[in-house]
Chain A
Amino acid sequence: MHKFYYRQLDPNLRSFSKLFGKIVNELPEGGRFYFNLARSMRMGGENYMFRDGEWSDPFETIIHPQFCMPTYDKNFNLNFSDISDLRALDIKKIINDTDRPVMVQWSGGIDSTVSMVSLIKNLSTSELSKVTVSMSGDSLLENPNFYNNFIKDKFKIVNSENMLFNDYKEKYNAYCIGADTGDCMFGSELGNKLYPKMKFIQNDIDNLYHSVSSKDVDYTAYRSIIIQYFNDNLKNAALQLKQYSIFDKSLSEMLPGDEKFGEMFYEKIVNNIKTSSVPIYSLHDFFWWTIFSGRYLFCSLRGPIAYSVGTNKESLINDCLIQWFNTDEYQLWSMNNNNNGEKLTGPIQGLYKTACKKYIFEFDKDEWYYHHKIKIVSSPNIIKRNWRKNFNDFDPILGIDTDYNIVKIGTPNVDNYVTEQLMKFKIDWC
């Protein structure tokens, strides 16, 4: 029925919970696995669309041409700084070839600050006058020094708290630069959350703890830790669902067989890794791959799809959205710079995104940011400020089809389709 460019399953959303409440106890093993995967991921739900390797899915998905993965080339050797400077030249061309404004979503975080630094370094004063910074009070809180020194009184500013993604196009006819795929380049997702918890999962893991980004320690050495971590995520997520009285009780129940979830998820990722064309060695590589390949579409498209109104997203995606890190050069750099200190130099927060922080420091000389800045998750702020106001628009979104039309659950056709797909999905990897 549907082919998706983007799709998500999130039992934490009311619309999904209504649907799942009706079917969850009837789901066979495959559908139950997907339901468990969806609730274990918590916010954002299940939205994997691997760009390379085998990944069976209850729904038919197609990788949008703008976000395909470039072919792995082990000889690629440009460094992060050169690539970041080059990226500004793409924006320079847009500014000079069109009379449309460019708006940069700046959260104050590491990724969006890379885009600001690159633009300030490489664009002329007159080109920078066409750039507007879209930011909020949270951006100020996250990077007050950069704001004071490089943004205040130098750029036009719009308050992102009042902006939905479609406003960039409809109100300003602008191109909107986002840095949502920065995490995909650096792999800071599931892994970051695991490293501080590792010692609580397994004793005597000093060597493993310090080797998360070592090419010499294969991710398979962490098998039992990863499986336990996935199982813990599921249990905790189920417990969290239980606290919300609006949700059907069945959503928070753990059924016999659910204890195998961690192993099934792990083996599914391993199967994907074995059939992909990019080398994966360390634990960091393992988790990097799950976001670089698996959640790239979600990270790229959630702005125009999940944080905007309107029923068709074609012009937002093809004529407004510019994901800063969505170039072949950044992606090839990312494939070639695991386990060498460019992404992380240890399993603690301050040692992530090394290449980004070096690039920013060379420009702003902010020693504090360079030594101490950590990733702050932006999505709770985005949800807090404009997601809730537009709850009825955003809550039921299942995805977009290949005509860019929004598909929402809550109608008999779509609900029946989701139910059928989950009912017939088979475990085919273990």
Chain B
Amino acid sequence: MYINSFMYAIYLNDIERFIALEKDLWIAHLSAKLLSSKLSICICDIGNETSITNYNCIQWTMSTPDLPTSTQYPRLIVSKESKLEYVGDPINTDMEVLKSHQQFCLLVLRIVMAAKMTDIVLNHADRKYFQSLLSSTDVVSSPDDSGIPNGFLHNIEKILYLQTSEKDILFHINEMFSDSTSIFPRNLAQYKSLFYKYLNA
């Protein structure tokens, strides 16, 4: 059986340091895509290096001549030549701002995980996805039964992509769940309850 002991790190090209870790590659990738409105990022496979944590990853770098340093679209770096290196805090960088941006990134990772979990548990009718595979335009389909226009997951992703502070993210998510005009108020309440359960787990 394949045991995944690997960890993935979100690497900031601008400061050449890691900013957050995530065990699940797909969560890391989606989060990186959503953070790309604000950051130039790579995802690095850091294997089972246990010395690196979310508390100290800002002092670590991936040392390789191959990192794509000029990109807005996050990619996974799989490099045989790469080496993890402890190099200390980044130079000439406002550490207070950087720490607050790190908190933002960690929140995005948590929300993406909670949203995906909620979607997997509650969504049993992503008609829009299958319709797109059929290239069909005969009917108008919704991605879920949350009652949220364009779907729960899409809205969460939009909020994470566009908002620039933790406060604004939480405000807009709460606003989304408080839609008094929802066509499926019971479903919306279920989504809300499960999402916050996973977020605060």
- Residues in A lying within 8 Å of B, measured CB to CB: 138, 141-142, 144-145, 148, 192-193, 196-197, 199-200, 210, 345-346, 348-351, 366-369, 371-377
Contact = CB atoms under 8 A, between A and B. Distances in A.
Contacts of B67: 196
A85 to B, nearest CB: 26
Contacts of B12: 350, 372
Contacts of B63: 199
Contacts of A371: 14, 93-94, 97-98, 101
Contact of B69 (A138, A142, A199, A374): A374
B162 interface: yes
Contacts of B70: 349, 374-377
17 contacts: A141-B73, A145-B37, A145-B38, A145-B164, A348-B15, A349-B14, A349-B40, A350-B12, A366-B164, A367-B164, A371-B14, A371-B94, A371-B97, A371-B98, A371-B101, A372-B39, A376-B70
A197 B164 contact: no
Contact of A200 (B14, B40, B65): B65
Contacts of B72: 138, 141-142, 376
A368 B71 contact: no
A350 B91 contact: no
B36 A372 contact: no
Interface hub of A148, A193, A350, A375 (most chain B Cβ within 10 A): A350
B169 to A, nearest CB: 13
Given A141-B73, A199-B63, A374 B13 contact: yes
B162 A349 contact: no
Interface SS majority for chain B: loop
B151 interface: no
| Interface class of chain A by DSSP | helix
Nearest to B63: A199
Contacts of B91: 210, 346, 348, 351
Interface of B: 12-16, 36-40, 63, 65, 67, 69-73, 90-94, 97-98, 101, 161-162, 164
B37 A348 contact: no
Contacts of A348: 14-16, 90-91
Nearest to A209: B91
Given A196-B16, A197-B65, A374 B40 contact: yes
The CB with the most chain B CB atoms within 10 A, among A148, A351, A377, is that of: A351
Contacts of B40: 349, 372-374, 376
Given A348-B91, A371-B101, A196 B164 contact: no
Contacts of A366: 164
Contacts of B65: 196-197, 200
Contacts of A372: 12, 14-15, 38-40, 101
A348 to B, nearest CB: 5
A144 B101 contact: no
Nearest to B36: A141
Contacts of A141: 36, 72-73
A148 B16 contact: no
A40 to B, nearest CB: 16
A273 B42 CA distance: 37
Nearest to A341: B92
Contacts of A148: 162
Interface centre among A148, A197, A199, A367 (most CB of B within 10 A): A367
B14, B90, B94 interface centre (most CB from chain A within 10 Å)? B14
A367 to B, nearest CB: 7
A144 B98 contact: no
A46 B90 CA distance: 35
A105 to B, nearest CB: 17
Nearest to A142: B72
Given A141-B73, A144-B37, A144-B162, A351 B101 contact: no
Contacts of A193: 69
In the A-B complex, the 6 residue pairs with the smallest Cβ-Cβ separation, listed nearest first, are A350-B14, A368-B38, A144-B37, A345-B92, A346-B92, A372-B14
A196 B69 CA distance: 9
Contacts of A145: 37-38, 162, 164
